[in-house]
């Protein structure tokens, strides 16, 4: 089995941003997503959101394309919900999603941001770029200042040797 450290922050919305992820429905949908992710050998570090969208922090094995993973997790969640909970209105996702990759050093911060989604939304303390799904115009990418890519080599080498 290959060694990998692949971290993704994934965001997707309910169809037409309908507020479908109520307190009653959300745990059911999240359970389906967690179960499917586990069956795909992914690790879910955090899963949370608001009534109209989901944030997931995941490690996805390199044998799976991100699009394949997201498609299967989304597909299983709405298919099983609609099949097993016919008393509720039908549940659907937007077709698109957003994916952000990041390094292990940022994992605790991204996990904390996702775990506190409801609080962030209630207090309007959002990171706009991380709240996007691809239904919004977002052709720009996130860039850090060039200085952050030019570390002191000796310092970087020492840091990497401690990992």
pLDDT of residue 142: 59
Strands 98-102 and 43-50: unpaired
Q: List the pLDDT tens digit at each of the 163 positions of the chain.
A: 789 999 999 999 999 999 999 999 999 999 999 999 999 999 999 999 999 999 999 999 999 999 999 999 999 998 998 888 877 778 899 999 999 999 999 999 999 999 988 888 888 887 777 777 655 555 555 566 666 555 677 777 777 777 7
Model pTM score: 0.81
pLDDT of residue 159: 76
Q: Where are the beta strands (DSSP E) in the chain?
A: 7-13, 43-50, 53-59, 98-102
Strands 98-102 and 53-59: unpaired
- The strand pairing partners of 55, in sequence order, are 11, 48
Q: Which domains does the chain have, with CATH numbers?
A: 7-161 (3.30.70.1290)
């Amino acid at each position: 089995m290959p060694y990998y450290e692949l971290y993704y922050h994934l965001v997707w919305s309910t169809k037409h941003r309908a507020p479908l992820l109520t307190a009653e429905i959300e745990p059911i949908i999240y359970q389906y997503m967690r179960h499917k992710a586990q069956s795909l050998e992914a690790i879910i570090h955090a899963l949370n959101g608001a009534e109209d969208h989901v944030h997931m922090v995941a490690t996805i094995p390199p044998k799976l394309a991100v699009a394949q993973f997201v498609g299967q997790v989304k597909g299983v969640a709405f298919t099983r919900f609609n099949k097993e909970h016919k008393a509720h209105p039908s549940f659907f996702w937007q077709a698109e999603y957003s994916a952000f990759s990041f390094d292990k050093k940022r994992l605790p911060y991204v996990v904390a941001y996702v775990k506190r989604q409801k609080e962030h939304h209630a207090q309007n303390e959002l990171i706009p770029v991380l709240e996007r799904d691809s239904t919004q115009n977002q052709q720009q990418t996130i860039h850090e200042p060039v200085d952050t890519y030019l570390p002191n080599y000796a310092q970087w080498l020492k840091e990497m040797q401690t990992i």
